[in-house]
């Protein structure tokens, strides 16, 4: 009988080895374990036949079975580690991110051309020491007109087709009222710009019912028209180019005296005359002047002590000149084919 047990045991490990060859998953491995070491497994079956052995044969057979069991366990454990390792590698492989795959592009947004140019304008003035101030879009008549030396029935009011709001209020027709609001709050010296939306009942290729202006104001002792010219020149040269020629042409505004309009030599024809500059060689780009004493009186500034200059420009117009755009309405139609070009 011992011979048979020995033979069975000798065949057991090679058989297990052969069976393990085809095992690739933990589940299959478990089946094999049960088939060999389980309650009805091959090894257990061999042990059950011990009953028919002679008592003196049993220790020997017992040792052999134990050795075989140890070896079988060792093989199973090694196989398990093997499978685990392969499964981890497979998992790593499956979950790996292929960094060479093309990504899903999110088209970047961009700033509106008016916002871009407004940013450039602000940057230039801030670099010259100007502060940026804001005022309300819904104004009262006093700040929009009266304090700016434009009383009721003043002819200059006709130029501003005003949107009136309930309660005697209006949508500001210019950013100039911010001058008044700042001077009511602060004493000189001061240098500010005031960007913002303004509103007028007007609409064609060069007019929009809502547009953007930048107002400027500098007040101190001994501020002269020369200071105004210097600041405007630096500004224009930085925004357009160093060669850009400008000229100051006498004009009228109620809140400045003397007043002027600033012309920039046509950026399209360099002054020789073209359709954009209407053959004049010049493009009007801002209004300006020395603050009218009546305005200073309205805010309680001492007109014997202080002088100042002010200016105002339309950002749409400047943007149109900078980029050769011929219709102001393009800025407000949200056509991405247009907006993407900036």
Binding site for ligand DAH (CB under 6 A): 174, 176, 215, 253, 256, 287-289, 310-312
We find the least distance from the C-beta atom of residue 236 to ligand DAH, in angstroms, to be 15
We find the least distance from the C-beta atom of residue 253 to ligand DAH, in angstroms, to be 4
Nearer to ligand DAH, 235 or 253 (CB): 253
We find the least distance from the C-beta atom of residue 176 to ligand DAH, in angstroms, to be 4
Nearer to ligand DAH, 239 or 310 (CB): 310
Place of tokens 């911010």: 178
Nearer to ligand DAH, 113 or 314 (CB): 314
Tell me the torsion sign for CA atoms 119, 120, 121, 127: positive
Secondary structure letter of residue 215 according to DSSP: E
What size, in residues, is the chain? 342
Nearer to ligand DAH, 125 or 311 (CB): 311
Nearer to ligand DAH, 176 or 208 (CB): 176
Place of tokens 């008044």: 180
We find the least distance from the C-beta atom of residue 290 to ligand DAH, in angstroms, to be 8
Residue number closest to ligand DAH, CB atom: 312
Specify whether the CB–CB gap between 205 and 327 falls below 8 A. yes
Question: Which of these, 35, 38, 39, lies nearest to 18 by C-alpha position?
Answer: 35
Question: Which of these, 261, 254, 244, 257, lies nearest to 321 by C-alpha position?
Answer: 244
Residue 265 contacts by C-beta under 8 Å, 6 or more apart in sequence?
A: 244, 245, 246, 247, 271, 281, 282, 283
We find the least distance from the C-beta atom of residue 179 to ligand DAH, in angstroms, to be 7
């Amino acid at each position: 009988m011992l011979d048979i047990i020995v033979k069975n045991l000798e065949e057991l490990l090679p058989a297990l080895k052969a069976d393990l060859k085809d095992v690739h998953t933990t589940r299959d491995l478990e089946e094999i374990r049960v088939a060999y070491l389980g309650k009805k497994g091959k090894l257990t079956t061999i042990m059950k036949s011990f009953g028919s052995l002679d008592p003196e044969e049993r220790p020997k057979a017992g040792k052999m079975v134990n050795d075989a069991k140890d070896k079988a366990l060792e093989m199973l454990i090694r196989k398990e580690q093997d499978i685990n390792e392969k499964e981890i590698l497979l998992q790593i492989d499956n979950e790996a991110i292929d960094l060479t795959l093309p990504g899903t592009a999110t088209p970047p947004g961009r700033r509106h051309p008016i916002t871009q140019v407004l940013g450039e304008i602000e940057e230039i003035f801030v670099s010259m020491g100007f502060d940026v101030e804001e005022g309300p879009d819904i104004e009262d008549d006093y700040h929009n007109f009266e304090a700016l030396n434009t009383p009721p029935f003043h002819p200059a009011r006709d130029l501003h087709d005003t949107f009136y709001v309930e309660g005697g209020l209006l949508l500001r027709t210019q950013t100039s009222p911010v001058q008044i609001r700042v001077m009511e709050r602060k004493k000189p010296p001061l240098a500010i710009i005031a960007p913002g939306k303004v509103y007028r009942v007007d609409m064609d290729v060069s007019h929009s019912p809502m547009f953007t202006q930048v107002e400027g104001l500098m007040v101190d002792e001994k501020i002269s028209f020369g200071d105004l010219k210097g600041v405007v020149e630096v500004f224009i040269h930085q925004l357009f180019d160093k060669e850009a020629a400008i000229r100051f042409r006498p004009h009228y505004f109620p809140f400045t005296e003397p007043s002027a309009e600033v012309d920039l030599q046509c950026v399209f024809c360099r002054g020789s005359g073209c359709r954009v500059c209407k053959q004049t060689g010049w493009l009007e780009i801002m209004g300006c002047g020395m603050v009218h004493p009546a305005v200073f009186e309205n805010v309680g500034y001492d007109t014997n002590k202080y002088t100042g200059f002010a200016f105002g420009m339309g950002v749409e117009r400047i943007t149109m000149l900078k980029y050769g755009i011929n219709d102001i309405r393009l800025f407000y139609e949200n056509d991405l084919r247009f907006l993407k070009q900036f």
